[in-house]
Amino acid sequence: MSSPAPKSPEQNEKTKKYDRQLRLWGDHGQKLLENSKICLINATALGTEIVKSLVLPGIGSFTIVDGDKISEEDIGSNFFLEKESLNSSRAQIATQCLLELNPDVRGDYIDESVEHVISNTQNFFKNFDVVIATALPEKTLIQLSKHLWDIDVPLIVCRSVGFIGYIRLQVKEHTVIEAHPDSESPDLRLSTPWPTLKQYLDSINIEQLDQKEKSHVPPLAILHYYLNKYRNEHNGQIPQKREDKEILKQMIRDSGHSEEGNNRFVLEENFEQAIHYANSCITPRSIPEHVKVILDDDCCINLKQHSSPFWIMCAALREHVQAEGELPLKGTLPDMAADTMSYVTLQNIYRKQAEHHIESVYRRVQQIVRSLGLPQDYIAEDEVKYFCKHSSEIHVIRGSCVANEYHKANPDLTFDLEDPDSLIFYYVILRGLERFISEYNAYPGQLDDQVEPDILKLKAIIGKLLNEWGCSNILRDERVHEVCRYGGAELHSVSAILGGCAAQEVIKVITHQYKPLNNTYIYDTITSTSATFCL
């Protein structure tokens, strides 16, 4: 194990400042974040909360598009608009306040409506990594989502009404390399050891060790030794079923006891760990199903000149897997009870083999890059390194365009609507709310004396929508009533929750780490429940 000389206690300021998040997405993720450009449409409370959660961790820059002037209601719900700025440009004041949060971030604004920008500025959205939209009218949303879909810029649409929140992520294709799964078993390859590993492990004869040596021998050597013994006794087979693994574990248990006076026996810790690994780590690591699907994807097989680095690396991985039969070795050894010398030796063996696999994949990547006529530095070796290390976690999302949800007979909600408690009903109501706004130019229930009549109007609109979608009208009336009660109110604490969640999804999209939402999220603050739907 290498132990580089410690850095000076004075870490550089940036590392210290961003310390917590570096733990979450690493230097490479942070770099992507720092180079990113995002656009916010409408500086509502929700919109500025999202940007706040992106400015603090240090995105590169943001641009706010908003033609509205600041009202008193805005000041009541939006922390980033001060009371002195009543009637000023909402885009300008929000930009100024957000920039105060982090001097590393750049920001600018356009004091025009998004409709104006769409029809007057060609290619305006092309340079953004993500566009965030809040409080968009139906018509604008459809237009914007189509446009961003065509130019392949991710869009995240958010809405906060009373206690209800909605987030919709639109990405044409999104690829994830580091999914950071909750748990995974270590990649040890004991059933198929490569020559160096085999040679090393073969050199340790457990049964000839004395008591002291035995208590320090690495668990992998123990497992290897008894696995061989088991195989010799079982026609070279590896234990597959639980009963078979139990036989192997018993062999380890029998030899791993040491005497501790009064005829009391304890199992040495390293033997205990060997038994633990016998559960999860001796079955040959097959290529996970989700990785197979990706490697057989058309994008992987038929590369084009504009193929993304991800797909080129997948193609190289495919070749590697065809040649080797296994994914590249992760190369990290879990901590285990063993003496330092053997632990370090083993760790080096694993690391060397992983480097060897990275080289193999990188060589293939370079060949492909050359054959596609792309520049040699199109994909850096570091990228290949991360890719190999996480090759069992790779993930691809193919999204759908928001505008499609507005075509007749779409979306298909019949299944979700069968459960009367499903939060999908809030999606239906929010769609009704959008339609209501385009028809009446106000939120349902906006005026105190209009709540009751608006409930009827909104119910009629929703009935029509459900009818268009071919669904029977089974909506619970009280939910429509509840949304009319809100009268378009935006509650700061609800927007704060949604803003935090939406910002996290934006970070996932930018860093290609963690799996993002696919694709619609509804949050209900009343019951503190939420649900995801793929529309």
Site for another protein in 424-453 (CB under 8 A): 445, 448, 451
Task: Name the one range near another protein by CB under 8 A: 134-142, 226-234, 244-252, 497-505.
Answer: 497-505
Whether the Cβ atoms of residue 105 and residue 60 lie closer than 8 Å to each other: yes
By CB under 8 A, is residue 159 in contact with another protein?
no
137: left (phi over 0), alpha (psi -120 to 50) or beta: beta
Q: Which of 31, 73, 106, 412 binds another protein (CB under 8 A)?
A: 73
Q: How far is the CB of 282 from another protein (least distance, A)?
A: 17
By CB under 8 A, is residue 389 in contact with another protein?
no
In the complex with another protein, which residue's Cβ is closer, 185 or 237? 185
CA-based nearest residue to 80, from 112, 61, 60, 56: 56
By CB under 8 A, is residue 331 in contact with another protein?
no
CA-based nearest residue to 440, from 415, 465, 417, 461: 461
By CB under 8 A, is residue 494 in contact with another protein?
yes
Site string for another protein, 265-304 (x = CB under 8 A): ----x-----------------------------------
Query: Under rule CB under 8 A, which residues in 80-109 are in contact with another protein?
Result: 82-83, 100-103
Site string for another protein, 450-469 (x = CB under 8 A): -x------------------
In the complex with another protein, which residue's Cβ is closer, 101 or 267? 101
By CB under 8 A, is residue 56 in contact with another protein?
yes
Site string for another protein, 208-247 (x = CB under 8 A): ----------------------------------------
Q: Which of 28, 68, 75, 303 binds another protein (CB under 8 A)?
A: 75
Rounded Cα distance between 381 and 374, Å, is 15
Q: How far is the CB of 259 from another protein (least distance, A)?
A: 20
Residue where the block lists tokens 């160096």: 196
Which two tokens mark 277? 């690994």
Compute φ and ψ for 257, nearest 5 degrees.
-80, 140
Task: Name the one range near another protein by CB under 8 A: 291-299, 359-367, 410-418, 522-530.
Answer: 522-530
Q: Which of 62, 163, 406, 426 binds another protein (CB under 8 A)?
A: 163
In the complex with another protein, which residue's Cβ is closer, 101 or 238? 101
Q: Which of 501, 509, 510, 535 binds another protein (CB under 8 A)?
A: 501
Peptide bond into 239 cis (omega under 30): no
By CB under 8 A, is residue 491 in contact with another protein?
yes
Long-range contacts of 283-287 (CB under 8 A, 24+ apart): 283/191, 283/238, 283/240, 284/191, 284/192, 284/238, 285/187, 285/189, 285/326, 285/327, 287/321, 287/326, 287/327
In the complex with another protein, which residue's Cβ is closer, 183 or 203? 183
CA-based nearest residue to 314, from 335, 340, 287, 333: 287
By CB under 8 A, is residue 377 in contact with another protein?
no
Q: How far is the CB of 330 from another protein (least distance, A)?
A: 12
CA-based nearest residue to 387, from 474, 456, 294: 294
Whether the Cβ atoms of residue 117 and residue 141 lie closer than 8 Å to each other: no
By CB under 8 A, is residue 493 in contact with another protein?
yes
Q: Which of 36, 77, 85, 89 binds another protein (CB under 8 A)?
A: 77
Residue 28 to residues 83, 178, 395, Cα–Cα distance (Å) = 40, 11, 18
Q: How far is the CB of 86 from another protein (least distance, A)?
A: 10
By CB under 8 A, is residue 260 in contact with another protein?
no
The amino acid at 267: L
Query: Under rule CB under 8 A, which residues in 164-203 are in contact with another protein?
Result: 167, 179-183
In the complex with another protein, which residue's Cβ is closer, 179 or 251? 179
Peptide bond into 519 cis (omega under 30): yes
DSSP designation for 252: H
Q: How far is the CB of 515 from another protein (least distance, A)?
A: 4
Q: Find the helix or strand (DSSP H, E) in which 42 lies.
A: none
Q: How far is the CB of 355 from another protein (least distance, A)?
A: 18
All residues at 6 or more sequence positions from 289 whose CB lies less than 8 Å from its CB, including other chains: none
Segments in 236-333 forming alpha helices (H): 242-255, 269-280, 289-295, 298-301, 309-324
